[in-house]
Amino acid sequence: MKTLKGPGIFLAQYAGDAAPFHTLPDIARWAASLGFVGVQIPTNDHRLFDLEQAAASKTYCDDIAGMLAEHGLAVTELSTHLQGQLVASHPAYDRLFDGFAPAALRGDVQQRQAWAVQQLKLAATASKHFGLSAHATFSGALAWHVFYPWPQRPAGLIEDAFAELGKRWRPILDAFDEAGVDVCFELHPGEDLHDGATFERFLDAVGQHPRANILYDPSHMVLQQLDYLAFIDIYHERIRAFHVKDAEFRPNGRSGVYGGYQNWIDRPGRFRSLGDGQIDFGAIFSKFAQYDYPGWAVLEWECCLKDAQQGAKEGAAFIRDHIIKVTDRAFDDFAATGADRSFNRQLLGLE
């Protein structure tokens, strides 16, 4: 059995223009001071990381890895969440997602999509340069605007959407396969891949591609009212990344899963800092130990109540305390009989 790695921290929600969050060395020093041993790096934030240079130069990646190692840190995964969103985007969201692309490409949907695909392929090479085995991203969405079946969806609409989504992602998955890296889709509202059923549709669309895998984040499952423990039982062979993020769902007489267009603080379903929500992380970490999850446990902080730095400090300790150092022997070995096959056959009455 494997002991999972961690605690790590996703830097996207912490990067900023003020110290210590404005450069990778400074934010690394801060993360290490809280007890983190890994960082998940958002590749879209040039304050922290240059994806083009990382893909072009293994030396650049080695220098980053060396700097992080001086602080006792490693890269857990690279992230292309925002670029992945642009691999497939319905026109209804074009203006809203324009900010995810360079200013020169805004308003040009075809060039923006081509740029996003190239970004993913660069991330495959950069991940290989770091010696990583997993990559974190979003799938994008062509059908999210019709996720609720009213008005009635025309026959074949969803099948066509996933066929196109698979067509766009297949070359990207092949590039990651050449690099020896798994693509881990965060199953997330706003993405066509947002639960197990949609992930299965996607697997069919890409021919059960071995590099199409899952970033497991139970908070999104709580807000969808999906059984996040049974999900691990079903899909554990495809889970290759893990965001440790808490959530709560407290429906009332005014609103439920859809949230009533309310701000986060007023919604029945809310993300919370680790330990403040309803998720049974003891059971999650136990299942990951049971199924030999091979990757990292990475804090993603999103909370409308608690300060981000308090959430990070508490989160590092929370993850560290939940990591199960797996046993190297059975608890009842002390009572072993040292039986052999002949003895077994005697016990069965066969000899």
Domain boundaries defined on the chain? 5-347
Q: How far apart are CA 129 and CA 144, in angstroms?
A: 34
- Asked if residue 185 lies in contact with residue 212, where contact means CB atoms within 8 angstroms, the answer is yes
Token pair listed for 14: 């912490």
Q: In terms of Cα–Cα distance, which of 66, 62, 69, 72 is closest to 32? A: 72
Q: Are 194 and 187 spatial neighbours (Cβ–Cβ below 8 Å)?
A: yes
**Per-residue tens of pLDDT for the chain, all 351 residues:** 889 999 999 999 999 999 999 999 999 999 999 999 999 999 999 999 999 999 999 999 999 999 999 999 999 999 999 999 999 999 999 999 999 999 999 999 999 999 999 999 999 999 999 999 999 999 999 999 999 999 999 999 999 999 999 999 999 999 999 999 999 999 999 999 999 999 999 999 999 999 999 999 999 999 999 999 999 999 999 999 999 999 999 999 999 999 999 999 999 999 999 999 999 999 999 999 999 999 999 999 999 999 999 999 999 999 999 999 998 888 878 778 777 888 899 889 998
Superfamily of domain 5-347: Divalent-metal-dependent TIM barrel enzymes (3.20.20.150)
Is 215 in contact with 242 (CB distance < 8 Å)? yes
The token pair at 180 is: 């020896």
Instruction: Evaluate whether 298 touches 38 at the Cβ level (below 8 Å).
Output: yes
Beta carbons of 240 and 180 less than 8 angstroms apart:
no
On whether the pTM is more than 0.85, the answer is: yes
What single string gives the DSSP state of each residue in 37-92? -EEEEETT-TTT--HHHHHH-HHHHHHHHHHHHHTT-EEEEEEEHHHHHTTSB-GG
Q: Cα torsion at 212, 198, 299, 15 (round to 10°)?
A: 80
